[in-house]
Chains A and B, each alone.
Chain A
Amino acid sequence: MIWQIDTAMLLLVVVVAIASLQVKDLLGAGILFGAYSFMMCVLWTVMGAVDVAFTEATVGAGVSTVLFIAAVFRTSRRTKD
């Protein structure tokens, strides 16, 4: 475990999670959630869980982002919080 990468990724995960919840645009929230999933995937590669990282990269960062964008385009894009 390389602790510099580990610490940087752990901090970025928290920052991106808060950013995806605070941004006013729902499309931007979906994209930031995809970035969150990708940083989780890097974190699990560093921790040695390569199979979990593969699944998170395809399912978490790929399919979930597509589902979020499809849902945002079928509903409204603006939000108050």
Chain B
Amino acid sequence: MMEFLETVLTAKYNYWIYIILMMIGIWAMIAKVNLIKKIIGMNIFQTAIILFYVSIGAKKGGTIPILEHAPGHGHDYIMDADKYINPLPHVLMLTAIVVSVATLGVALALALKVYREHQTLDEDEILSHLSE
């Protein structure tokens, strides 16, 4: 039992925070009535997924993925792949961050358009305004 807690709860705590943040994000997208709050929830969801992917690449005792020079000669590199953190999820998540700010811009522009049309950001008021 203690071994189970050790391996599942403490050793993988990043993944538990990732699940909690994802649930916070999807709760905000569903339950919040304000459109700006929904957009913040969407962004929290996206950063939670990015946290998950960076957690996959992390390694205990590994250094950042930049090649180190060997002592003595200028062009010899230390090439032990197991000493470096896996950089592939980092590169993918770099693209995901830029895409997330693009979706944020589009979502805020749409929210501005909705506000100009209905003079409110409240979802219930917009729905009642539409059904009139």
Contact = CB atoms under 8 A, between A and B. Distances in A.
A75 B125 CA distance: 15
A47 B101 contact: no
Interface of B is mostly: helix
Interface residues of B, number: 49
A68 B21 CA distance: 20
A63 B58 CA distance: 27
A59 B101 contact: yes
Most buried by A among B25, B33, B37, B89: B37
B122 interface: yes
A10 B52 CA distance: 13
A21 B101 contact: no
25 contacts: A13-B17, A17-B24, A21-B24, A21-B37, A26-B37, A29-B37, A30-B36, A37-B47, A40-B47, A47-B55, A48-B59, A48-B65, A49-B90, A49-B93, A51-B94, A52-B97, A55-B97, A55-B98, A59-B97, A60-B100, A67-B101, A68-B40, A72-B36, A79-B37, A80-B122
